[in-house]
């Protein structure tokens, strides 16, 4: 049988070409938006990024004659339950390490008088981040990689891609960079496992949203190095930054890494949805 570079054995366009098409469509929307933003001395807002990734995903799914629900899961009661469960787990991923840091006196908090007024805007910001990043990393690209290469090859490729997009974040230096890189890589694997086990973006969205919101909007840490104004203001003692995460965030801390690893192991042993 002659190998067809473009079509598989089922006479469908190969997954690698669909991935290329996805990035071309994404660039077709994103590049003009970036040019327009630069002309106005601004940046492409996270809300617009979420819209662009959604549009690119819709167009590629339309091209494959598949519904968006193949990527996001069906929006029903189960979807909402998985979203809430993901939110609870994401919150725990930040609250448990924060509790450990507080008990040992490595970090102290005080109330931020203006913190309550920022909660709604912080939640909206991180909702946009979760939608944009989860659709990009666990959406069309992830599904095509799984179909073409298998689950774990897809996980590793996307985790490296996810990490690369965070390497230029503020504070990515020294011990922080090493600890944050490990945490971010494993977090991508965790989000991917949540998708694989549920066949839905609901749990990864909940995980991503609430981990960021609790870390930044509530506890006042930076989120992936980006400074946030939260309900609380953290202050750090003399403990090394790789232990506390410093202003980079709990995702660069040793307790944060411990919690991600434990959650990964628990999710890995969970029964996969058929």
The whole-angstrom separation of Cα 253 and Cα 94 is: 10
The whole-angstrom separation of Cα 169 and Cα 246 is: 14
The pLDDT value given to residue 173: 87
The pLDDT value given to residue 1: 56
CA angle (217, 221, 222) in 5-degree steps: 95
Average pLDDT over residues 42-60: 95
How many residues belong to the chain?
274
Average pLDDT along the chain: 93
Average pLDDT over residues 26-40: 94
The whole-angstrom separation of Cα 204 and Cα 201 is: 5
Query: What sections of 171-253 are H helices per DSSP?
Result: 174-198, 202-212, 241-244
Q: Are 88 and 247 in contact (CB under 8 A)?
A: no
For the chain, give the percent of residues with pLDDT over 70: 98
The whole-angstrom separation of Cα 81 and Cα 210 is: 15
Q: Are 242 and 165 in contact (CB under 8 A)?
A: no
Average pLDDT over residues 55-76: 94
Expressed as residue numbers, the domain containing 195 is 74-268
The whole-angstrom separation of Cα 53 and Cα 46 is: 11
In a domain, 33, yes or no: no
Token pair 């992830």 is at which residue?
142
Average pLDDT over residues 87-108: 96
Q: Which residue has the higher pLDDT, 82 or 229?
A: 82
Contacts of residue 42, defined as CB under 8 A and 6 or more positions apart, other chains included, come to none
In a domain, 212, yes or no: yes
Is pTM beyond 0.85? Reply is yes
The pLDDT value given to residue 194: 96
The pLDDT value given to residue 163: 96
Helices first, then strands: H and E counts in the chain: 11, 2
The pLDDT value given to residue 116: 86
Which neighbouring-strand residues pair with 111? Answer: 232
Residue 184: is its pLDDT beyond 90?
yes
Would you call 66 helix, strand, or coil by DSSP? coil
Residue 33: is its pLDDT beyond 80?
yes
Average pLDDT over residues 118-144: 95
- Residues 219-271 have pLDDT tens digits of 999 999 888 889 999 999 888 998 999 889 999 999 999 999 999 999 988 76
Tokens standing for 79?
């979807």
Residue 274: is its pLDDT beyond 80?
no
Average pLDDT over residues 195-207: 96
The whole-angstrom separation of Cα 216 and Cα 229 is: 7
Buried b (16+ CB within 10 A) or exposed e, 117-127: ebeeebbebbb
In a domain, 28, yes or no: no
Between helix 140-149 and helix 15-39 the angle, nearest 10°, is 160
The whole-angstrom separation of Cα 212 and Cα 207 is: 9
In a domain, 166, yes or no: yes
- Residues 16-30 have pLDDT tens digits of 999 999 999 999 999
**Domains in the chain, number:** 1
Residue 133: is its pLDDT beyond 80?
yes
Tokens standing for 167?
């390497």
Average pLDDT over residues 49-55: 96
Q: Report CA-CA distances (Å) from 257 to 128, 156, 233, 251, 254.
A: 25, 18, 22, 7, 5
For the chain, give the percent of residues with pLDDT over 90: 80
The pLDDT value given to residue 272: 59
The pLDDT value given to residue 209: 97
The pLDDT value given to residue 12: 86
In a domain, 211, yes or no: yes
In a domain, 53, yes or no: no
The whole-angstrom separation of Cα 255 and Cα 271 is: 27
The pLDDT value given to residue 238: 87
In a domain, 57, yes or no: no
In a domain, 1, yes or no: no
CA end-to-end distance (rounded Å), the chain: 33
Residue 2: is its pLDDT beyond 80?
no
């Amino acid at each position: 049988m002659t190998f067809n570079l473009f079509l598989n054995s089922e006479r469908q366009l190969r997954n690698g070409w669909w991935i290329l098409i996805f990035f071309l469509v994404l660039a077709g929307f994103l590049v003009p938006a970036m040019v327009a933003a630069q002309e106005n001395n601004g940046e492409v807002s996270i809300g617009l990024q979420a819209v662009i990734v959604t549009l690119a995903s819709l167009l590629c799914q339309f091209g494959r004659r598949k519904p968006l629900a193949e990527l996001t899961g069906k929006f029903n009661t189960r979807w909402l339950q998985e979203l809430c469960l993901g939110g609870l787990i994401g919150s725990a991923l930040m609250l448990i390490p924060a509790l450990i840091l507080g008990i040992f006196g490595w970090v102290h908090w005080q109330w931020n008088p203006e913190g309550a007024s920022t909660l709604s805007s912080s939640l909206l910001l991180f909702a946009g981040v979760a939608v944009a990043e989860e659709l990009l990393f666990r959406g069309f690209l992830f599904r095509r990689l799984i179909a073409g290469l298998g689950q774990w090859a897809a996980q590793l490729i996307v985790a490296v891609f996810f990490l690369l997009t965070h390497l230029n974040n503020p504070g990515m230096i020294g011990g922080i960079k090493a600890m944050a890189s490990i945490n971010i890589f494993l977090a991508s694997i965790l989000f991917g496992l949540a998708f694989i086990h549920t066949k839905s973006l609901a749990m990864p969205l909940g995980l991503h949203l609430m981990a960021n919101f609790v870390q930044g909007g509530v506890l006042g840490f930076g989120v992936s190095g980006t400074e946030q104004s939260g309900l609380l203001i953290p202050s750090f003692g003399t403990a090394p930054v790789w232990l506390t995460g410093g202003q980079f965030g709990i995702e660069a801390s040793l307790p944060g890494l411990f919690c991600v690893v434990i959650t990964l192991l628990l999710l890995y042993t969970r029964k996969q949805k058929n």
